[in-house]
Structure formats: structure tokens, C-alpha cells
């Protein structure tokens, strides 16, 4: 496999205890950590090894399976159900860390090495605990990350304290701070990945705008501010209801349930032009009982041009889900509630012109321009939208993010 200059540099430098590969999407960060990791498994000190990500599933999909493709299934075996894999004969523990309790899974361990994919999406407490467990002599930690906000803990407490930083232009910065961490930071951009065809690079660049572009393409740690859907343009994204194309499928109805707040439901369909359309909206402003609400929902569902394949309900609405099931609706799914993932998906569809909204969806069309990043969250280094007038926006996220595997194959877009 051809390695870019930056990657060779990373492989050649005297080894620090932490190697951090951060920067653009698809820039080769994960592959490079895998190459380092395989070497470490062969030659590193004896002792327990850990591979970590948001969930055990993402560790398997993003790291173990690519390793299997490189080394073969014999040398990389997944022990499903045990939370381990055997790689080159060594047992490796797999950890998902998507909440504050996750650190208790590794408390008390003595580790010789760890690899963390997408470290910025893990809790800070987990990363601190992990680092403190690497007590074997010669122990090492690899991490990858995509840029987040400039106050994010991974930047301020880890990356900014690097002893050596190779920036995105390939320039070396050595820190003279006596408190610098024994960490080498490498900032990758798309051009650092020799494997990407130029038309793919162009396509992926076009899929992001605004702050997403700055973060995921330009590898800059910039704040989320202003409108969440900054590319929203009603003249491009809103379609008159009687001009909707003929529909191939109605993938889902996404529903955000409110008791004191409004309830919103939106139907997501595929047009015969292979674009996504939000074809209709149900808004219930007052908070009727679950029974009344379920009745109104069923009446509205019957009026849709096609029955939806899935009813995707906000995971918090437990009692409403029970009611809906009692009323005979069986194709119910919990909404994917990773807010940022949902926002990113909706954003790139709007940006690519692959998602249009019927002018019947009044509340959604009213909410989108006001759906904004929270300055309070930004201060804390987090990205989160302001939680007000966001009910139809939530329903949209649920409808889209939860059924991605159904609609993605129709769209000619980078994933």
C-alpha cells in the first residue's frame, strides 16, 4: 500500500506514548492507525490490549473488519458475544464507550496498548481512565479524531499539548512547554490519502458546506454557530405539493412525541427521480391523551399516498409506543437519537440537493431557518442545537437517520 509522506513521517518518528491522527474525513487516519497497531501487536510489550470506539459494533465495523480484509480471517478472528477479538494470536478487548459509565469497564485494568477510533465522540472521562491504565513499560495509545469545536476537551487537553505537531501543510511544530504531553499529533487532509480518485475527492468536498466543510474537509476545529442547516434555501428545497413526483416508496414516518410540547410527524418518501421527499406533515399542537393522539395519527397515515414501511418514534415516548402497538401498528422502530449524526446526514442531503420538502409541511418549513446551534453548548466545547421549536426538525432527523440503510442505495452520494 502506498503511504503518503505524512504517514511515513508518523511511522518513522521515535515513538511517543500517544499518537493522535486527526483531520479530514476519508483522509486515511484509521488505516494508518491500523498499520501501526498491527506492528504493535507483533512487536509491542506483552500485556492486555484494548480497541475502543463509540460502540463495540463501530469498533468491529470500522477497524476489525478492515483488519480482516488486510490480514485474513484466520489472523483476525472476531469472538462475537465475548467482547474480544484474536489478532495475530493475541487477545484484544473491544470496548464501546458512549456514556459516562463506560469508564468503569476499564477501571482497574493494566494495559499495554490501546487504539481509539473517533476519540472526540467518546466521553472525556473514558479517555482519561484509558490513559491512566496504560502502565506497562512501553505502553502506547493511538487515537483518531475528526475536528470538533475549538473548546472541545480533546483539542484543549490533549492535541494542543502535543510535544510534536505535524500540521495539515506538513510543517513540524515542536513544543517547548515543559508540561507538553508525550503525544505526537498529525493533522490529515484528503490530499494525504493517495487512494482517493480525484472525482471522489471533488464529490466529497461538495457534500459539505459551512462549518462541516471547515471541519471535515479543511481539518479546522471551528465553532458551530448560527443556523444548523446553513444551506437551507426554500426556493431550492421546498416543492409545491401538487408538483411532487410519483413516489416509489414511503420509507418512514418520523415522529417526535410531546406531552406538554407539540407532536410532529413527517413522511419520508422516494420520488421516481430517485430523490428524497418529505411529502406530508402531521402537527398536534395541544397535548391530547395517547389514545386521542394515536387516533389522529392513524387517520393521517391513511391519507398518505402509500403506507409507510416504518413508523419511527422518538425513543423517549415509551407509553405512546405501547398505545400505538395496542392500536395495531406493528412496524414501529425507535428513532436513531444521535443528534449530531442525524443533523450531519440531513445537512449533507440538503447540501447535495437530494432532499426536498412539500409545502404542506408548514411547521417544518417554519422551524428550519430558526434551528440554531446553542452558544451555551459551544462555550462548553460541545455541539448541540438550541432545544426550542425543534419538534418537526427532530421528526425529520428520526425519519431520515433511522432508515438510512433503506434510502442510501438509491442516492449517488458519498457515505
Ligand X SMILES: Nc1ncnc2c1ncn2[C@@H]1O[C@H](COP(=O)(O)OP(=O)(O)OP(=O)(O)O)[C@@H](O)[C@H]1O
Shorter beta-carbon distance to ligand X: residue 220 or 309: 220
**Spatial separation of the C-alpha atoms in residues 57 and 98, rounded to whole Å:** 12
**Distance in Å, CB of 23 to Mg ion, minimum:** 10
| Residue 2 CB burial class (10 angstroms; 0-12, 13-18, ≥19) | exposed
The option from Mg ion, ligand X, none interacting with 348 (CB < 5 to 8 A, set by class) reads none
**Distance in Å, CB of 33 to Mg ion, minimum:** 8
Q: Which of residues 130-149 bind ligand X (CB under 6 A)?
A: 144, 146
**Distance in Å, CB of 353 to ligand X, minimum:** 22
**Cβ-contact 92, 86 below 8 angstroms:** yes
Shorter beta-carbon distance to Mg ion: residue 63 or 297: 63
Among 6, 26, 237, 257, binds ligand X (CB under 6 A): 26
Shorter beta-carbon distance to Mg ion: residue 69 or 236: 69
Residue 5's alpha-carbon distances to 189, 192, 367, in angstroms, are 12, 8, 47
**Cβ-contact 369, 236 below 8 angstroms:** no
Among 18, 31, 265, 275, binds ligand X (CB under 6 A): 31
**Nearest residue by C-beta to Mg ion?**
30
End-to-end CA distance of the chain: 23
**Distance in Å, CB of 102 to Mg ion, minimum:** 20
Print the binding letters for residues 192-231 with ligand X: x by CB under 6 A, - otherwise. Answer: -xxx------------------------------------
The C-alpha cell at 165 is 505537531
**Spatial separation of the C-alpha atoms in residues 27 and 8, rounded to whole Å:** 14
Count the site residues for ligand X by CB under 6 A: 15
> Cα torsion at 117, 118, 122, 127 (round to 10°)?
60
Among 25, 64, 224, 275, binds ligand X (CB under 6 A): 25
**Distance in Å, CB of 193 to ligand X, minimum:** 5
Print the binding letters for residues 158-197 with ligand X: x by CB under 6 A, - otherwise. Answer: -----------------------------------xxx--
Shorter beta-carbon distance to ligand X: residue 144 or 230: 144
Beta bridge partners of 408: none
Shorter beta-carbon distance to Mg ion: residue 98 or 175: 98
Beta bridge partners of 247: 271
Shorter beta-carbon distance to ligand X: residue 27 or 374: 27
30 touching Mg ion, by CB under 5 A: yes
**Spatial separation of the C-alpha atoms in residues 402 and 4, rounded to whole Å:** 36
In the complex, the residues that contact ligand X under the rule CB under 6 A are 1-3, 25-31, 144, 146, 193-195
In the complex, the residues that contact Mg ion under the rule CB under 5 A are 30
Amino acid at each position: 500500500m502506498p503511504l503518503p509522506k505524512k504517514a511515513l513521517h508518523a511511522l518513522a518518528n521515535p515513538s511517543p506514548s500517544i499518537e493522535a491522527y486527526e483531520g479530514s474525513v476519508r483522509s486515511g487516519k484509521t488505516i494508518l492507525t491500523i498499520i501501526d497497531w498491527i506492528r504493535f501487536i507483533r512487536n509491542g510489550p506483552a500485556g492486555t490490549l484494548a480497541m475502543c470506539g463509540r460502540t463495540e459494533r463501530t469498533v468491529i465495523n470500522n477497524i476489525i473488519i478492515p483488519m480482516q480484509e488486510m490480514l485474513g480471517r484466520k489472523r483476525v478472528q472476531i469472538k462475537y458475544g465475548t467482547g474480544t477479538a484474536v489478532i495475530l494470536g493475541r487477545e484484544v478487548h473491544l470496548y464501546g464507550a458512549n456514556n459516562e459509565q463506560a469508564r468503569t469497564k476499564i477501571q482497574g485494568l493494566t494495559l499495554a496498548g490501546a487504539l481509539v477510533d473517533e476519540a472526540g465522540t467518546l466521553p472525556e472521562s473514558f479517555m482519561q481512565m484509558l490513559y491512566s491504565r496504560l502502565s506497562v513499560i512501553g505502553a502506547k495509545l493511538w487515537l483518531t479524531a475528526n475536528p470538533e469545536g475549538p473548546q472541545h476537551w480533546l483539542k484543549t487537553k490533549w492535541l494542543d499539548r502535543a510535544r510534536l505537531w505535524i500540521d495539515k501543510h506538513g510543517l513540524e511544530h515542536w513544543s517547548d512547554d515543559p508540561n507538553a504531553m508525550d503525544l505526537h499529533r498529525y493533522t490529515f487532509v484528503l490530499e494525504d490519502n493517495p487512494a482517493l480518485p480525484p472525482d471522489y475527492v471533488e464529490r466529497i468536498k461538495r457534500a459539505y458546506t459551512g462549518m462541516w466543510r471547515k471541519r471535515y474537509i479543511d481539518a479546522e476545529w471551528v465553532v458551530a454557530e448560527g443556523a444548523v442547516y446553513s444551506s437551507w434555501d426554500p426556493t431550492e428545497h421546498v416543492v409545491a405539493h401538487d408538483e411532487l413526483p410519483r413516489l416509489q416508496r414511503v420509507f418512514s414516518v418520523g415522529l417526535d412525541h410531546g406531552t406538554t410540547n407539540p407532536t410532529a410527524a413527517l413522511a419520508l418518501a422516494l420520488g421516481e427521480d430517485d430523490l428524497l421527499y418529505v411529502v406530508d406533515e402531521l402537527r398536534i399542537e395541544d397535548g391530547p391523551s395517547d389514545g386521542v393522539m394515536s387516533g389522529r395519527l392513524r387517520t393521517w397515515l391513511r391519507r398518505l399516498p402509500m403506507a409507510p414501511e416504518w413508523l419511527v418514534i422518538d425513543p423517549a415516548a415509551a407509553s405512546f409506543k405501547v398505545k400505538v402497538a395496542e392500536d395495531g401498528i406493528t412496524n414501529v422502530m425507535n428513532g436513531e437519537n444521535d443528534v449530531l449524526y442525524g443533523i450531519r446526514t440531513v445537512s449533507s442531503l440538503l447540501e447535495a440537493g437530494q432532499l426536498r420538502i412539500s409545502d404542506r409541511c408548514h411547521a417544518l418549513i417554519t422551524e428550519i431557518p430558526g434551528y440554531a446551534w446553542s452558544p451555551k453548548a459551544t462555550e462548553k466545547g460541545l455541539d448541540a442545537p438550541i432545544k426550542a421549536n425543534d419538534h418537526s426538525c427532530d421528526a425529520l432527523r428520526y425519519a431520515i437517520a433511522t432508515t438510512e440503510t433503506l434510502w442510501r442505495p438509491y442516492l449517488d452520494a458519498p457515505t
